[in-house]
Structure 1
Amino acid sequence: MARTKNIDMTQGPILKELVLFALPLLLGNAFQQLYNTVDSVIVGQFVGSASLAAVTSTAMIINTLVGLFVGFSTGSSVIISQFFGAKKDDMLQKAIHTALTTTFIMGIIFMIMGYFITPPLLVLMRTDANVMNPATVYLRIYFMGILGLMFYNMTSAILRAVGDSVRPLIFLIITSILNIILDLLFVIGFKMGVAGVAYATVISQFVSAFMGMFVLMRSKENYGVSLQKMHIDPKILRKIFAVGLPAGFQMAIISFSNVFVQSYINSFGANSTAGWGVYGRIDAFVMLPLQSIALANTTFTGQNAGARNPDRIKQGIRVSLLLAVIITVVICALEYAAAPYIIRLFTSDEAVMKFGIIFIRCNCMFDFFCCFNQMHAGVLRGIGDAAAPMVIMIFSFVLFRQIYLYTITRLTSSIYPVSLSFPVGWIMCSLLMLIYFRLSHWERRISPN
């Protein structure tokens, strides 16, 4: 079995440990983002701006449902890793088969929900009439194949929980390449438009799910899977939900709130929708280093909290924050300068390019604020305080952002203040997170005395 090398973060050079831990996360997340980006580039270049808007603007709807499941898979990974580390093979088997069985049931529910909620959600987003039909086609095909995505995520979570981070990355690389090939074949060769992009994504996801299940079912290790053992253990399921629901709820609520942000963007027309969608694809890549460092910081904090070493945690905060800020500022400076060229990768439509450049440049100047809220949230989660980051982020990214948009659109009809709705939420979140972090006296929870 291929396993990651265990990194003891309680001693040694902090910067080296954070970088070594963050790099595999960064690589894996980059391939994950490659799926959607390639879809957008091919659609924008070979189908048209309306179809580009359809593919990119629907991410908020997809993320709302998928966010719930990501929380569930995270909870499953935690429980499975605990049983694996404790060498409780019987409980490990029950946890794995409970997670997989529940994944199948959730997949069926999400497939039906996704199919039927697509039209009303697109109307709620004030989707342009030219975008409505291709967006409906894309989303419905995507949701009909969502089982593939869910099983890939769950099988990968199981493998990572038992120390194997290599094969999930290999699955991603293979299916990313497959997705590109199928995109080109279906869109350019067969002229299938957005339907071709959706089918390419669904097929690729099912291939990755098959590879994950194949590895687990062929394994002779204590985490091997058998169809005869597929059932749900209620006690274990409650443990999984206890860990995973807060994270999943947070992701789903924030994603759903972005549906309303999208509705304000859509009110400026299909070109604005397409431009915002391109910005979203680029921003997902820009945020990857920051998010990977934040995840590494959470693990770093968790290990040192267990070792009762608050001083090293404080050093880790300074190092990770400085590293994240430097990398983010450098990337965003390049992004600001290259905005016209980046947009042109997706489309040559001048109207779409105009909006895309506005969105990129208005937002990238404030990306470094995310470093502060993400690093502090990572530390709080690492010491076991997951509730506070969830509440602060939901308030900042959902409630406060919606109040801002509702107010600003009644004061002006300009696109610029609307495009700043994300930075407004980031700044509020960073301020609240810092205040809570300073007042929480987190050191007392892990003090050796």
Structure 2
Amino acid sequence: MALGVKVDMTQGSLWDKIVLFAIPVALMAFLQQLFNAADVAVLGQFAGTNAMAAVGSCGAMCSFVVSLGTGMSLGANVTIATNIGSGRMDAVRRAVHTAMLAAVGGGVILGLAGELVIEPIMAAMGIKDPEVEAMALLYMRVYLAGLPILFLYDFEAAIMRSQGDTRTPLIALTISGMVNVGLNLLFVLVLGMDVDGVASATVISSAVSSIILLWCLTHSDSVIRVNLRELAIDWPSLKRILIVGLPAGIQGALFSVSNVIVQAAVNSLDTAVMAGNSAANNIDAFSWYSLNAFGQACTTFVGQNNGARRHDRCLRTLKICFIEGYTAYAILTTILLLFSRQLLSIFSTDPAVLDAGQLRIQFILATHLFTMVVEIMSGYLRGYGCSLPPTIIALISICVLRVLWVAFIFSADHTLFTLLMVYPVSVAVNALLTMLFTFFMRNHLARPAAAAA
């Protein structure tokens, strides 16, 4: 398997290049979510509602740790893309090898830390059923053990995206996803495992995709080629990756922290609502990933053009990402609204589960009107290396607001409808503040790119 054709983002039409970049990124996320949905569906059909609810209750926590890894990989993406745009090829090579080590090291550190604190966190989640809680704890322990592998894939894919190659990570993910589904069926149906089976399948299949991308990177004839003998930490590169990536990771993690709080509130309702929430989360994520794909496209294209000092193309990238992103959102939202109940029935046929899941889907799809603004404008700012302010904005408008909502408004009206209202309200505030900050910073961003390494 060879690396896909690299894209010069500093020249030529942006309309086709952005959409051709974003589509494979979205497809990767769709496939990843589809395979995650297969985990829940296999459990729901063959291991029971308790196993399905257990994995669903872990969704926000899994999202928390994955968001940190994905955010850090964005730091590598921006660092490498900026150096490519500015023609600093020695800096590109140093950043690539630093990113590989940072992925594994970060996964080990976070995995070990997670294993130490996961039990009290699970206890604080307020899961009513002891069996569901025990299953959820087992799932998370296996999942955390595989974080170095999960992080490595994210960073390898980010390295490839920095030069416009989104096809190769898609191929690798497709192969590993099929492995994941096969292992799910083997572990659950043949070996009689439940949540530990699907968690093990996730880790093993992720190892497959990581190995595929590592082979491609070590056999590449481009500037992002990985030479295992050259693996070393270049401290200026690591600093740049952390400056951009750490706030991006924290921003994504803040969403997940707030979702853990919301999930704890969901857990205070009944098992059918928990199961419906889990099923709906696997479906409405398809819409979110289309938004995130254009946010990632914005980050990468702005990064290269900022390195090349083509600030006019950075602004055009922002506008095109909005137009193409909202078009994709409208198409997906229409499909998901029309077929939401049929899709939910894949996971469960319980009417109470279907009703709860359908209500969540309606709320989240409406919320994504504002999420698009957050994703693309945050991506625009990160492409310039401005990553901390969006994180601070998210802390105020997402994390704090959702905590207050659950503590006061939901506690006063203990219904799923009232709880779900927190999503559109908090994200709308986040979008407004992000837009205002970007507007006031527009003249300060267009300056010579800082040396990435």
TM over 0.5, shorter chain: yes
Question: Is the contact made by 1:131 and 1:270 (CA closer than 8 Å) also made in structure 2?
Answer: no
* Cα pair distance change 1:70/1:341, threshold 3 Å: same
Classify 1:79/1:17 alpha carbon distance in 2 versus 1 (closer, same or farther; 3 Å).
closer
| Residue of structure 2 in register with 1:258 after alignment | 259
> Which residue does the alignment assign to 1:307?
310
TM alignment of 1:355-434, pairs within 5 A: 355-434=356-435
Q: Compared with structure 1, are the counterparts of its residues 76 and 17 closer, same or farther at alpha carbon in structure 2 (3 Å cutoff)?
A: closer
Corresponding residue of 2:209: 208
Show structure 2 runs of 5+ residues with no match: 449-453
1:364 CA displacement: 2.4
Partner AA of 1:407 in structure 2:
F
Partner residue, 1:343: 344
Cα shift readout 1:181-238 (whole Å, capped 9, x = no counterpart):
1111211222211121111111101112222333344557665445544443333322
- 3-state SS of paired residue (2:123): helix
Q: Aligned residue for 1:334?
A: 335
Number of residues paired by the alignment? Answer: 444
What is aligned with 1:59? 59
Cross-structure match for 1:34: 34
Cα distance, 1:160 vs structure 2: 3.4
Q: Distance in 2 between matches of 1:239 and 1:383?
A: 12
Distance 1:447 1:358, change over 3 A: same
Deviation at 1:443, TM superposition (A): 4.4
Structure 2 partner of 1:24: 24
Question: Quick one: distance in 2 between partners of 1:46 and 1:370?
Answer: 35
Q: Using a 3 Å threshold, how does the CA distance of structure 1 residues 298 and 110 change in structure 2: closer, same or farther?
A: closer
Counterpart code for 1:34: L
CA distance in 2, matches of 1:325, 1:278: 25
TM-score, structure 2 length as denominator?
0.87
Paired residues for 1:182-197 under 5 Å: 182-197=183-198
The match for 2:451 is none
Q: Distance in 2 between matches of 1:216 and 1:298?
A: 22
Distance 2:9 2:86 in 1: 18
- Name the residue aligned to 1:98: 98
Matching residue of 1:442: 442
CA contact (8 A) 1:84 1:92 kept: yes
Cα distance in 1 for partners of 2:21, 2:221 equals: 28
- Consecutive unaligned residues in structure 1, runs of 5 or more: none
Of 55-64 and 360-369, the range deviating more from structure 2: 360-369
How far apart are residue 419 of structure 1 and its match?
Answer: 1.6
- The 5 A counterparts of 1:49-88 are 49-82=49-82
* Whole-Å separation in 2 of the counterparts to 1:371 and 1:162: 24
Contact 2:89 2:223 in 1 (8 A): yes
RMSD value, Cα: 2.9
Amino acid at match of 1:249: I
Out of 123-132 and 151-160, give the one that drifted further: 151-160
> Secondary structure at 1:367's aligned position in 2?
helix
Q: Which amino acid aligns with 1:435?
A: L
Query: CA 1:271/1:119 → structure 2, altered by over 3 Å: closer, same or farther?
Result: farther
Cα distance 1:44–1:190, how it changes in 2: closer, same or farther (>3 A)?
A: same
Shift of 1:445: 4.8
Q: Could you tell me the percent identity over the aligned residues?
A: 30
Is structure 2 residue 179 aligned with structure 1 residue 174? no
**Runs of 4+ off more than 6 Å:** none
State the 1:39 CA deviation. Answer: 0.8
Distance 1:176 1:76 in 2: 25
Partner of 2:124: 124
Judge conservation of contact 1:2–1:165 (CA < 8 Å) in 2: no
Give the 3 Å change call, closer, same or farther, for CA 282–96 of structure 1 in structure 2.
same
Alignment of 1:218-367 (within 5 A): 218=219, 223-299=224-300, 301=302, 306-309=309-312, 313=315, 319-367=320-368
